[in-house]
Amino acid sequence: MPTIKQDDVIQSVADALQYISYYHSPDFIQAMAAAYEREESPAAKDAIKQILVNSRMCAEGHRPICQDTGIVTVFVKVGMNVQWADATLSLSDMINEGVRRAYNHPDNMLRASIVGDPLFDRKNTKDNTPAVIHMEVVPGDTLDIAVAAKGGGSENKSKMVMLNPSDSIVDWLVKTVPQMGAGWCPPGMLGIGIGGTAEKAMVMAKESLFEEIDIHEIREHGPKDKFEALRLEIMDKINALGIGAQGLGGLTTVLDVKIKYYPTHAASLPVAVIPNCAATRHAHFVLDGSGPAKLDPPDLELWPKLTYQASAESRRVNLDALTREDVASWKPGERLLLSGKMLTGRDAAHKRISTLIEKGEPLPPGLDFKNRVIYYVGPVDPVKGEVVGPAGPTTATRMDKFTDMMLGKTGLIAMIGKSERGPEAIESIRKHKAAYLMAVGGSAYLVSKAIRSSRVVAFGDLGMEAIYEFEVKDMPVTVAVDARGESVHETGPAEWKKRIAGIPVKVV
């Protein structure tokens, strides 16, 4: 009877998490490359190109695809006859030790994003533990492990509903996906769980995202059953909404739709949907006592031979001399190249600023937002002489409730993030004649190459959520909301929904 060593579990989990931090799976690369080739929206095509170029850079440089290196989710199938050689830890503790080693790897530090207390202190655990672990005991003598690292931007867009048995799942999804916004960084996959109970539907939706992208094969040979037909129907109707890459409007919003289902109560129809972003990260391995798992790297020839250069029509912006008049001249959808110094900040920093202002207390010494730009980002720690690690944008809508305060009381005149802004934030941007700029989610390593220097300005105890000052050179962004309050996340999808309805296009 083969025996499994404790260290093999730990090492395999650590290696798998490192592996998925910088390697996209071959099926995803091929699906994104195909989406790039058929995309007709210039803005969406540019975003997909950035994602693909970033993906190859990460594969070559062994650095994270996205600065949000995720919350770790693990599905474990434990063989009933598994024997342990030297185990002193529980299986959960082995897995968490693997997470700890992966996220503190000196050659590729991964961002620790987990807070131990979810409600009050919200202190970072510093090593991204604990993982969320699902275990099942099955026949056999092996240990089957699937690991994923799920970013908060996409996880936050998860939805669950208890429909009536006679209700249409397709209608609910067509209504719900636009409500998710672009914070999940499309194009990506939708994982759908149907049946069971509320919690079972959510777990099935998450588990379905481990499956390979194969919808193109179903389309080629035709659906074999009603669930494959349902996948095609959902995908085509979602893509026909015109949401597109990064929510800018385009032909491809989802690359695949996955469905897992389970028997349910006669009175119930639980349905859950969890999106997987453009930084999809998952791996699967089986331990049989012969040693730690080995994952083969994908062939670099899988990536399309693309390089990224900003559009020649891009407007160059000097952040160190930026004025409100400059901001007012920017047009929706216009591409900018930013150079100079900007500040960073996200949820925790905004909350502290809000508290100081409410108390009538001054901001920390050296922190001045007047006529400046803030970048919503929580970067990865640098390694090997880097100025900063991967530093892509975080979801801007989380800062909406702070926007009027920042624009009205600090002198801030522009913001950078990903995804759309809500009505309240857009009205504040219009009122203060400010602007919101969008960087591409899923291109964190590419963005970091534009950052020439980095220093902590305030709230250093917040770690990646501290306020930094970045000096950048030709950082590419798009004007997402202009000083008049026009949002490309509203106009872009609306335009492409009409275009898709009126043009013959094969959405696959």
pLDDT digits (tens, 9 = 90+) for 373-431: 999 999 999 999 999 999 999 999 999 999 999 999 999 999 999 999 999 999 999 99
Residue 396, in any domain of the structure: yes
Residue 188, in any domain of the structure: no
Q: Could you count the other beta carbons within 10 Å of the beta carbon of residue 464?
A: 21
Q: Are 376 and 393 in contact (CB under 8 A)?
A: yes
pTM, to two decimals: 0.94
| DSSP strand pairing (188-195 vs 254-262) | parallel
262 vs 504, residue with greater confidence: 262
Residue 17, in any domain of the structure: no
Type and span of the H or E element at 43:
helix 42-61
Token pair 């902590």 is found at 456
Kindly tell me if the per-residue pLDDT of 501 is higher than 90: yes
Q: Which amino acid does the sequence have at 505?
A: V
Q: Are 6 and 95 in contact (CB under 8 A)?
A: no
Find the length of the chain. Answer: 508
Q: Are 64 and 269 in contact (CB under 8 A)?
A: no
Residue 441, in any domain of the structure: yes
Query: Range of 423's domain?
Result: 315-493
Packing angle, helices 91-103 and 6-22, rounded to 10: 40
- The whole-angstrom separation of Cα 356 and Cα 347 is 15
- The whole-angstrom separation of Cα 33 and Cα 29 is 6
Q: Which amino acid does the sequence have at 185?
A: C
Token pair 């095509």 is found at 45
- The whole-angstrom separation of Cα 404 and Cα 160 is 31
Q: Are 470 and 341 in contact (CB under 8 A)?
A: yes
- The whole-angstrom separation of Cα 124 and Cα 126 is 5
Kindly tell me if the per-residue pLDDT of 507 is higher than 50: no
Kindly tell me if the per-residue pLDDT of 1 is higher than 80: no
Tell me, what CATH number does 402's domain have?
Answer: 3.20.130.10
- The whole-angstrom separation of Cα 359 and Cα 370 is 20
Kindly tell me if the per-residue pLDDT of 506 is higher than 60: no
Residue 464, in any domain of the structure: yes
Residue 393, in any domain of the structure: yes
User: Over 440-505, what HEC string results?
Assistant: CCCCHHHHHCCEEEEEEEECHHHHHHCEEEEEEEEEEEEEEECCCCCEHHHHHHHHHHHHHHHCCC
Residue 444, in any domain of the structure: yes
Q: Are 297 and 59 in contact (CB under 8 A)?
A: yes
How many structural domains compose the chain? Answer: 1
Q: What is the pLDDT of residue 2?
A: 80
Report the percent of the chain where pLDDT is more than 70: 99
Residue 158, in any domain of the structure: no
